[in-house]
Amino acid sequence: MVHERMKSTSLSRIEMSNSPDFDRKVEEVLSRGVVEVVNRENLRRRMLCGEKLRVKMGIDPTGPNIHIGRGASIMKLRDFQGLGHQVVLIIGDATALAGDSSDKTSGRERLTLEQVRENERNYLSQIGKILDIRKVEVHHNSEWIRKIDFDTWLQLAGCFTLQQIIERENYAKRIDSGSPVGFHETLYPLLQGWDSVNVRADVEIGGTDQLFNLNAGRKIQERFGQNQQDIVTLMLLTGTDGRKMSTSWGNVILINDQPDEKYGKLMSMPDYLIPVYMECATRIPMERVRRVTKSLKDETGNPMDYKKELAFALVEQYDGREAAEKAQDVFERTVQSKELPETIPFVTISGSLEINRLVQELVRVNLVRSKSEAKRLIEQRGISIGGEVFLPSQTITVPKEGITVRVGKRRYLKFEQNKKGGE
């Protein structure tokens, strides 16, 4: 095994005695944003006794950016870390190649090792915005997965029957609908469980869609002579439009989004998501979350005020108080007051402005990531010039005083005439 388990140690008794609300803190860790705990009484007892637990979570580098839905799970790790437990973070560079389809209606597209390595390049810097990364035990699961021998594979496979695998809800649905289920997909729970064995996990954290995999870890640990890990499953944070959080739908808030972008995205989400985001994605006190929830239900409060409170807390959490204050100021001036930002990038131009030049400049000043994104925004009527929606067939004459382009809701670019007559 990679990690030789050390004798159980206890948190500082002095630290515990100086924390009269320790019981309350433990209870909040086991309830805030939590759907289910297996085995709750066992885990609660061990935490109250001051046992230092190894709390595991895995993250597969299937893309380069981590959104705040995943960040909410990492926040739970921070809660455990704050009580003195050992966080064990597993970068699933091997499992990412197999592909976890726990929440998918079809198999994942296979990644190459090079794609996985590139995707994970900035993972720790993003995760480090939440966790004290210096105190985190970090592993790549290729450390042990690539060393599995034939006998071990047989033992792992022997933990489950074929019926148990194909009766898994999302597999069963795909089979019933005639969609193929790759045999390699069925190996994923075995590999995730093998992770738990190799790091000797006491606790594993994951979303509700991960319950099958998490329980697989318990079963595999038992097969290999270890105590079964306890499980904490968390609410799945939906996207800002109420649908499943998905980068392809554009309803995600990324840890690396600019502060004003985070703030603005939260301000545009449905009101009913406010309490869920407050509970799962921030650490606004739960008493406050309960009051906001009741106020929204009774229609006695202003949702706009609550969204601003949420947006400020989330930006402060990831980017600091100064960034949160600036993001709030930008929102209040550019959206609430319908003012333009103080600083807008500008481009000089001679003659008229047509789609190809507009697309070229939007990409050049980084208002969009690609020409295809710019063209898609134009087709979706998401770009306006001089306050009017820009259409693909239009040619705009730039007036002497210049003209302002708005991209989406909060991005701006100004075109000015080239007074020298040349570009």
Mean local confidence (pLDDT), 246-260: 85
Is residue 422 a part of any domain in this protein? no
Closest CA to 392 of 358, 364, 415: 358
pLDDT score of 4: 45
Q: 3-12, 187-196, 352-361: lowest mean pLDDT where?
A: 3-12
Residue 70 included in any domain: yes
Q: How do residues 206-235 score in pLDDT, each as one tens digit?
A: 998 899 999 999 999 999 999 999 999 999
Q: Do 324 and 391 share a domain, yes or no?
A: no
User: Is 141 among the domain residues?
Assistant: yes
CATH number at residue 143: 3.40.50.620
Q: Give tens-digit pLDDT for 113-133.
A: 999 999 999 999 999 999 999
* In a domain? residue 240: no
Q: 214 and 174: one domain?
A: yes
Would you state the pLDDT for residue 361?
Answer: 87
Within a 10 A sphere around the Cβ of 309, how many other Cβ atoms? 16
Q: Are residues 226 and 130 in the same domain?
A: yes
Tell me the residue range of the domain where 382 lies.
346-417
Residue 6 lies in a domain: no
Same domain for 98 and 217: yes
In the structure, what pLDDT confidence band is assigned to residue 401 with cuts at 50, 70 and 90? confident
152: its two tokens: 């071990």
Last residue of some domain: 234, 264, 297? 234
- The top-scoring range by mean pLDDT among 25-39, 93-107, 395-409 is 25-39
The pLDDT value given to residue 406: 87
Torsion, CA 371, CA 373, CA 378, CA 384, rounded to 10: -100
pLDDT at residue 14, as a whole number: 41
Tell me, what amino acid is at 266? L
Residues 285 and 361 grouped into a single domain: no
Contact assessment for residue 264 and residue 331, using Cβ atoms and an 8 Å cutoff: yes
* pLDDT over 90, % of the chain: 56
Relative to beta strand 395-397, strand 203-207 is: unpaired
Three-class SS string for 143-157?
A: HHHCCCCHHHHHHHH
Query: Is residue 263 domain-shared with residue 167, that is, in the same domain?
Result: no
Asked if 213 and 298 sit in the same domain, the reply is no
Q: In sequence order, what are the residues at sequence separation of 6 or more whose Cβ sits closer than 8 angstroms to the Cβ of residue 250?
A: none
Answer positive or negative: Cα dihedral of 34, 39, 40, 45. negative
Q: Which residue from 47, 75, 53 is spatially nearest to 9, judged by alpha carbons?
A: 53
Q: Which domain-ending residue is among 234, 262, 287?
A: 234
Can you tell me the distance from the alpha carbon of 239 to that of 246, in angstroms, rounded to the nearest whole number? 7
User: Same structural domain for residues 354 and 312?
Assistant: no
DSSP string, 286-343: HHHHHHHHHHHHHT-S-HHHHHHHHHHHHHHHHH-HHHHHHHHHHHIIIIIS-PPPS-
**Residues 361 and 327 grouped into a single domain:** no
For residues 255 and 402, membership in a common domain is answered with no
Asked whether residue 184 falls in the same domain as residue 280, the answer is no
The answer to whether residues 270 and 124 belong to one domain is no
pLDDT at 17: 39
